[in-house]
Amino acid sequence: MATIQKKERKNGTTYTAVVRVHGFPTQSKTFKRLTDARHWAGKTENAIRDGEFHNVVSEARRKTVADIITRYKREILPNKAASTQRAESTYIKFWDEAVGKYALSLLKPEKISEALHGLSTAGDGRKSQKDGNNPKKPKSRKTLKHYRDNLELLFKYAIRWGWTASNPVDGVNRITRINDERVRFLNDDEREILLTICKNSANKLLYPIVVFALATGARKGEILKLTPEDIDLDRGIAIFRNTKNNDTRSVPITIHLKKVLQDQIQAMNKLYDKYPSTPKKRWVFPRSDGLASIDIRKAWEKARDEAKLVDFRFHDLRHSTASYLAMNGATQVEIAEILGHRTLQMVRRYAHLSESHVKDLMENVNKKLF
């Protein structure tokens, strides 16, 4: 339905044409002449309604992208791993704001491509590691792929629910040929400098957390979720529960890490003993109020920048551990078991680091053969 709003202004009369069609965002435009406003309103309304005939499912004219998102968040998302929920929530929020008001029958590939292009040019808001100007980095192809694939997944569920017969994301070019085999690890000098800076950090938990990451190859989220019940210093193991793969796994606690954890657990107990009422859940690495685990993002970024580590993320500590294991002769199966990978695909990137081990192995075999 189109309406014309007349407004008297200091510089003259204006006419704002407003077009409202259910399942489509409200469209409006202001003109100086009434005839131009009427012409635009009629043309726009017809163009919107013509688009409805591209989808034969009547339900698709009534349901919007926001309806898919609401049901998906209620029925599907809660059943996924916590880390997946956090990631998908970011993608869903973007699509809800970008195309949430569109009816399923009216959302076209061109609009989706336009939204992805806008996302790409907006860049990454995370702090740059290069200089103090903190320019926004371009969104990576991998990140854009995650956003595109998330919307495609939402529409697959809409088709399954009988809300639409087509997926407009099929008309959006797939983002392929992404090389995600990142193998950035600390050399001996970098590791020594980083650990020294972390040890002197104002955040007293940064050093034990970084040591834990390097000693075990654990993810940051796994480390921060640890409770005293997950640490068994007598047996020398740490247990990670509800991991990214929804598995429970354990890792050995080595000599240096054991000493670091003994000191940390002592400090943790001292912190919690100060409170008149003990929280129901204790964290090995708690924040100052003890009600949740600590956030080390700022302390980590400061230490990383002071160490002058270029193109290095906290997750690369995990890559560092895997690389050290490979260079010391660990097999891909052993690395996968320690890191908690279900398949060997993720650890094949470290194969070239174990060349000397493989060479020695082949030489020993050949000595016996010839």
Which amino acid is located at 71 in the chain?
Answer: R
Q: Quote the Cα angle for 151-156-161, to 5°.
A: 125
Q: What is the rounded CA–CA span in Å between residue 42 and residue 46?
A: 6
Instruction: Please tell me whether residues 293 and 165 are part of one structural domain.
Output: no
Q: Is 106 helix (H, G, I), strand (E, B) or coil?
A: coil
Instruction: Please tell me whether residues 208 and 150 are part of one structural domain.
Output: no
In which domain, by residue range, is 218 found? 189-318+330-348
Give me the mean pLDDT over the 153-178 stretch.
85
Instruction: Please tell me whether residues 136 and 42 are part of one structural domain.
Output: no
Q: What is the pLDDT of residue 243?
A: 77
Give the domain CATH number at 279.
1.10.443.10
Instruction: Please tell me whether residues 87 and 31 are part of one structural domain.
Output: no
Q: What is the pLDDT of residue 346?
A: 66
Q: Is 19 helix (H, G, I), strand (E, B) or coil?
A: strand
Q: Nearest CA to 60 among 70, 68, 69, 50?
A: 68
Predicted TM-score (pTM) of the model is 0.57
- Average pLDDT over the chain, rounded to whole? 84
Q: Is 26 helix (H, G, I), strand (E, B) or coil?
A: strand
Instruction: Please tell me whether residues 167 and 280 are part of one structural domain.
Output: no
Give the domain CATH number at 103.
1.10.150.130
pLDDT tens digit sequence for 340-357: 776 666 666 656 555 555
